[in-house]
Structure 1
Amino acid sequence: MRAASIRPRPDQIAELTRGLRLPLPEISSLHLNIIAEGLLQAFADIRAQAPVTVASGTEAEVTALLEARLNAMIEVEPLWGQLVLCVARRKESVSFDGSHLEKRPDLSIYLSNRNRSFPLITEAKIIDSAASKTESLYCDNGIRRFVEGEYAWGNREAFMIAYIRDGSSIGTKLTPFLSNAGSRSPPGYLVETLPVAKGSESYDLASSTHGRNFLYSSGLKDISEPGSISIWHLWLP
């Protein structure tokens, strides 16, 4: 988008949020764990069917496979089908003040019991230190987008997926990196809590909490601050 066209658009935000009070209510931890397990299952399936692409393909190639598999699961996995309406890759969305109308998060997960204008946003990144795809890039091009209101600004939670190609884990890479960032003043990525393990020990899942550095449009009655966002990290080896 050209610089001249980057400006707040309160009319866009007013229409998008008509009748809503933001941020939306929390998604339960039970449902977030089911979503994490669905993502894990879908990744295992595509890895079995397309091992070369998953092991060496681009982020877009792997995520496109994941999108297709997640949508296919709606028809064959009853619990997933009850919770998820559909999954869309690179679905255009609007930033918190309408300055950007064409933000494209990697995956938008539309849940059956949630407002359609605010899907559960999932960003995906490759972690491969040999290719200079590190936890720093993961945070700069992932977490930062949630903190600054580019993505998931009406929600209280989001997901990030890492496709691991160098043996990294949340405990060995992400947690120390965020700990160091959080020790600065102000904290980098507005870290409030470091990643805390979630779900089963058989997979690498944790959530961290981050402040957000934007305010809602003044057109949203009685609301000014979005509060913190919980980011669920699923690292897939």
Structure 2
Amino acid sequence: MLVELVDLAICEAWDRVRKRRPDLLVKGDEDAITDELKTELVALRKSDSPPGFNDELFGVPTRDSKVKSSSGESIDPTPDLTIYPARSRAEVSDDQHDALFFECKVIDSSRGLSLYDKNGIRRFTSGWYAGRMPHAGMVAYVLNGAHTAPMHSLTKYLSKTSRGQASTNGARIGCTSAPTQVMNSPGTMAADIAETVHERPTLAIGSYEIALRHLWLLH
């Protein structure tokens, strides 16, 4: 499965970033970490590591590549990581939108789940990113111990009602059920992967439901 292969590759790239650039993790600069992660993914693709993550199946990973929003109102949405399949897939009519899109967020003492939601999850549920895809990914760089497992932390967060809101956090982003575990930890410094499914009834085109995989990378 392409998605699982990429999860494994991201974990391997993360191990390399941790060993080669620990200074980036100390600084907690999301863009710098993501750029280094992308660089490692490009190298891994060339070396067929993990097996199957290669140029036979995947294009070159990119950072901040622009893809038009689902509404067509903006040509400037920039998912943090984009990995296209090497070959076109018949089920997606427009090759520009046929990709694995990821949004990356730091989780630490000052950046928590509300930011992960507002500047991450909602970019997918609104159709700003991946408007024509039925799945996408959230990647967290967990740089402290407050949140280490998406299953536990997201279940609690999505069932909570935020101050001044009548509905739960999950209901506001169209979450149709509690998170489910879809994959055991794909690396030594990664949590078990959780998935949330969201309705997107306001989209004019494309998929009206999206499954988000939550891959949390541990420091």
* TM-score, normalising length: structure 1: 0.78
Residue of structure 1 equivalent to 2:210? 229
Matched, 1:163 2:141: yes
5+ residue gaps in structure 1?
1-29, 218-224
Cα offset for 1:114? 3.7
Q: Point out the structure with max Rg over C-alpha.
A: 1
User: What is the alpha-carbon distance in structure 2 between the residues aligned to residue 187 and residue 57 of structure 1?
Assistant: 31
CA distance in 2, matches of 1:44, 1:55: 15
1:117 paired residue number: 96
Runs of at least 4 residues off by over 6 Å: none
| Percent identity of paired positions between Structure 1 and Structure 2 | 28
CA distance in 2, matches of 1:164, 1:35: 19
Cα drift, residue 194 of structure 1: 2.2
Out of 19, 35, 39, the position equivalent to 1:48 is 19
Q: Counterpart amino acid of 1:45?
A: R
Partner of 2:113: 135
Q: What is aligned with 2:52?
A: 79
Q: Which residue of 1 aligns with 2:92?
A: none
Select the residue among 64, 68, 75 that pairs with 1:94.
68
Deviation at 1:89, TM superposition (A): 0.4
Tell me the distance in 2 between the aligned counterparts of 1:162 and 1:176: 17
Identify the match of residue 129 of structure 2 among 130, 151, 155.
Answer: 151
Query: 1:89-123, CA deviations, whole angstroms, 9 ceiling, x for partnerless residues?
Result: 00111111211111111111111234531221100
Name 2:5's counterpart in structure 1: 34
C-alpha deviation, 1:181, in angstroms: 5.5
Once superposed, what is the RMSD of the aligned Cα atoms?
Answer: 2.1
Distance 1:106 1:63 in 2: 7
Q: Is the 8 A contact 1:209 1:231 kept in 2?
A: yes
> Which structure dedicates a bigger proportion of its chain to helix?
1
